[in-house]
């Protein structure tokens, strides 16, 4: 080897190759992995991607191509300048020092906008990671001086804002490395006894960050106040935007905490010191941020559970596709309200199978595979490693949804132990929620009952809970599957609402198409009817087989197996003949005034077109799952 291992820095998920942006932990088979390293002097990036090598010769000892990071590289690119092929240029560095001014670590900013962390190696070079040290607050010398002088300290989100506030407004500012939601307890202790004001970015993530910091500072700092800057852009406006719009120190000093009545924490006061809010003084609540209306919501967990063969994994994948693809506007007849990246977190299958399924489903929808759909495997890996990695991935790609299939295999805890499951949800699922990602959790159903398997902790945890059931039993038609999705928790959607889905499979890994049968919202007046009345009302619309009745009435085939003979014996229904080997049922031909009480309508009950077979319904004008 021409390089000694201690003299190099190998690329990792925290320090990616500056040439190809890859690292060894990238997913297989997508052509992005890089097993290279940075030379000890920081002059060369040794990349393993041959397609980016140009005229560079491969180093036989390391199987890498040495790219010159400053100046003209023989690959044909100047890596120190912006280009059109994704290479980065360092445009700023921000020093984090100890109270004496000695450099401890540094944030590096690139163009296109991206950040990385590094620290001195003691020999004039850099170690491109800070995971093995205790990082400090930015502008730490100014922070300690302000505490001793009793001056106010402003916490910004980002080094650029902190520098502009200090240099252009003359205020004491600080921030933490790696941005929002990276606050540490050690930072809180530094600010003990200080007067602190937090200046959030004007977006959801910025507000969540400063409120989290304010909560940690409560009872430690002398005073804590959150001040939202007026007039900054709504998509993340910050202190720099406010300064550029003419903001001054005097104007900043006069700004009240715009969330004073809601979020300001001033220890010693009669109300705010308890973290309590006067509801009459609160601002209007923000509207619920649905991804799929009444089905999935930003920052909340959805559970989809059922027995084997109830299509729950396919439905979970469909949900991710519908959110990730801007071509999709409706899922299960419900509006898709927000699109964004989605991650499939798989603990049961593998990449090949998920790629196959995704392509089949997208072909059935007649859309391209969305670029914002990602896959991560958890098979055979401990939850303490996979979930933090999943959280990092979701933050990196800004995922709005992640499907977790399935919960039991992913967390590996005891599903029936309340404390075990409570801690698993708190440690692994809630960080995703706090980061603004909606967990879509696939889970199993016990052999007895129709509740979520195991502890009720999951029932308390889920904002939306849905049960999937097989409507075909062992009588399903080849290439067709009928399932029912039932809302089991009345959070914001009607409990008991049923959605009938028909899956159509094409041989040889062909397209999978899905139709909604009937209406996703069965009216309460129909739900309240007895099973006999539901059968009669449905048969008024047209004669049907037992399987067709199961789909139209939401009554299980096994129940119909005993119900229909009893109704025929009572004269409530009759036989109209056979369709193949199946009996076709009809309403009784004798006079029966009870029929007058049943409105002759098929609206909203998912009835099949009179005379059609189960497979033929919707064949002329199918109602697609995704519109």
Instruction: Please give the pLDDT value at position 490.
Output: 65
Tell me how far apart the alpha carbons of residues 144 and 191 are, in angstroms, rounded to a whole number: 9
**Is 253 in a helix, a strand, or coil?**
helix
Instruction: Please give the pLDDT value at position 142.
Output: 93
Find the largest Cα–Cα distance for the chain: 100
Query: CA torsion sign, 74 to 80 to 81 to 82?
Result: positive
| Cβ burial, residue 66 (10 Å; 0-12/13-18/19+) | buried
Q: Identify the bridge partners of residue 303 per DSSP, sorted by sequence position.
A: 441, 465
Q: What are phi and psi of 469, to 5 degrees?
A: -135, 145
State the DSSP code for 368. P
Residue 149: partners with Cβ closer than 8 Å, 6 or more residues away: none
Tell me how far apart the alpha carbons of residues 202 and 444 are, in angstroms, rounded to a whole number: 41
- Beta strands 373-377 and 342-346: pairing type? parallel
Tell me how far apart the alpha carbons of residues 606 and 551 are, in angstroms, rounded to a whole number: 8
**Is 24 in a helix, a strand, or coil?**
coil
Q: Do 537 and 529 contact (CB within 8 A), yes or no?
A: yes
Q: Identify the bridge partners of residue 47 per DSSP, sorted by sequence position.
A: 65
Q: Tell which residue, 477, 518, 524, 488, has the closest CA to residue 500.
A: 518
Instruction: Please give the pLDDT value at position 95.
Output: 94
Low-confidence ranges of the chain (pLDDT < 50): 1-2, 81-86, 258-270, 519-526, 528, 589-627
Domains of the chain from N-terminus onward: 5-95+102-127 (no CATH), 140-281 (3.40.1360.10), 290-517 (3.40.50.300), 524-597 (1.10.10.10)
Residue 474: partners with Cβ closer than 8 Å, 6 or more residues away: none
Instruction: Please give the pLDDT value at position 476.
Output: 64
Q: Tell which residue, 75, 1, 71, 77, has the closest CA to residue 39.
A: 1
Tell me how far apart the alpha carbons of residues 345 and 397 are, in angstroms, rounded to a whole number: 14
Q: Do 112 and 88 contact (CB within 8 A), yes or no?
A: yes
Residue 166: partners with Cβ closer than 8 Å, 6 or more residues away: 139, 142, 172, 173
Q: What are phi and psi of 484, to 5 degrees?
A: -120, 130
Tell me how far apart the alpha carbons of residues 445 and 453 are, in angstroms, rounded to a whole number: 5
Residue 301's Cα: distance from chain center in Å? 9
Tell me how far apart the alpha carbons of residues 622 and 452 are, in angstroms, rounded to a whole number: 32
Q: Tell which residue, 276, 286, 289, 283, has the closest CA to residue 323.
A: 289
Q: Which two tokens stand for residue 604?
A: 């909203």
Helices (H) and strands (E) in the chain, counts: 17, 28
Tell me how far apart the alpha carbons of residues 553 and 571 are, in angstroms, rounded to a whole number: 20
Instruction: Please give the pLDDT value at position 308.
Output: 83
Q: Which two tokens stand for residue 396?
A: 């990196």
């Amino acid at each position: 080897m021409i390089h000694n291992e201690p003299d190099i820095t190998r690329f990792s998920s925290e320090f990616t190759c500056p040439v190809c942006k890859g690292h060894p932990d990238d997913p297989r088979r997508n052509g992005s992995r890089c097993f290279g390293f940075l030379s000890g002097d920081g002059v060369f990036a040794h990349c393993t991607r041959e397609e980016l090598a140009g005229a560079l010769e491969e180093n036989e000892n390391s199987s890498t191509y040495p790219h010159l990071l400053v100046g003209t590289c023989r690959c044909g690119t100047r890596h120190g300048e912006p280009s059109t092929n994704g290479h980065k240029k360092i445009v700023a560095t921000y020093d984090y020092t100890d109270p004496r001014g000695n450099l401890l670590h540094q944030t590096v900013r690139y163009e296109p906008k991206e950040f990385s962390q590094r620290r001195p190696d003691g020999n004039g070079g850099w170690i491109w990671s800070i995971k093995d040290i205790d990082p400090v607050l930015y502008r730490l010398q100014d922070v300690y001086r302000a505490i001793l002088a009793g001056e106010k300290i402003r916490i910004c989100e980002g080094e650029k804002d902190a520098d502009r506030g200090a240099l252009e407004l003359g205020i004491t500012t600080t921030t933490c490395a790696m941005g929002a939601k990276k606050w540490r307890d050690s930072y809180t202790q530094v600010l003990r006894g200080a007067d602190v004001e937090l200046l959030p970015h004007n977006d959801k993530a910025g507000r969540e960050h400063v409120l989290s910091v304010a909560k940690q500072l409560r009872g430690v700092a002398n005073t804590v106040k959150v001040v939202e800057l007026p007039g900054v852009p709504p998509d993340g406006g910050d202190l720099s935007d406010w300064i550029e719009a003419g903001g001054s120190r005097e104007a900043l000093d006069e700004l009240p905490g715009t969330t004073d009545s809601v979020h300001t924490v001033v220890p010693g006061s009669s109300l705010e010191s308890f973290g309590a809010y006067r509801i009459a003084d609160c601002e209007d609540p923000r509207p619920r941020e649905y991804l799929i209306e009444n089905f999935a919501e930003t920052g909340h967990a959805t559970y989809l559970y059922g027995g084997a063969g109830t299509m729950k994994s396919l439905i979970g994948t469909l949900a991710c596709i519908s959110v990730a693809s801007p071509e999709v506007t409706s899922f299960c007849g419900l509006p898709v309200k927000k699109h964004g990246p989605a991650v499939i977190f798989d603990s049961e299958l593998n990449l090949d199978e998920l790629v196959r399924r995704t392509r089949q489903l997208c072909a059935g929808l007649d859309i391209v595979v969305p670029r914002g759909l990602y896959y991560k495997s958890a098979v055979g890996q401990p939850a303490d490693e996979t979930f933090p990695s999943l959280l990092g991935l979701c933050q990196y790609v800004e995922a709005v949804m992640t499907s977790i299939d399935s919960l039991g295999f992913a967390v590996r805890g005891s599903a029936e132990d309340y404390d075990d499951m409570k801690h698993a949800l708190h440690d692994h699922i809630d960080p995703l929620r706090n980061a603004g990602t909606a967990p879509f959790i696939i889970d199993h159903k016990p052999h007895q009952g129709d509740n979520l398997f195991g502890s009720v902790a999951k029932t308390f945890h889920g904002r939306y809970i849905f049960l999937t059931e097989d409507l075909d039993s062992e009588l399903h038609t080849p290439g067709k599957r009928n399932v029912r999705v039932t809302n089991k928790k009345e959070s914001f959607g009607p409990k008991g609402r049923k959605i009938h889905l028909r899956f159509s499979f094409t041989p040889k890994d062909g397209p999978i198409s899905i139709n909604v049968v009937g209406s996703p919202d069965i009216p309460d007046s129909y739900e309240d009817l007895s099973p006999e009345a539901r059968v009669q009302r449905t048969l008024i619309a047209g004669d049907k087989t037992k399987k067709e009745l199961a789909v139209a009435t939401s009554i299980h085939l096994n129940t119909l197996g005993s119900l229909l003979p009893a109704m025929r014996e009572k004269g409530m229904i009759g036989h109209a003949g056979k369709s193949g080997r199946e009996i076709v049922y009809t309403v009784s031909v004798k006079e029966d005034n009870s029929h007058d009480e049943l409105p002759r309508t098929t609206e909203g009950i998912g009835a099949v077109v009179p005379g059609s077979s189960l497979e033929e319904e919707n064949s002329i004008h199918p109602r697609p799952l995704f519109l």
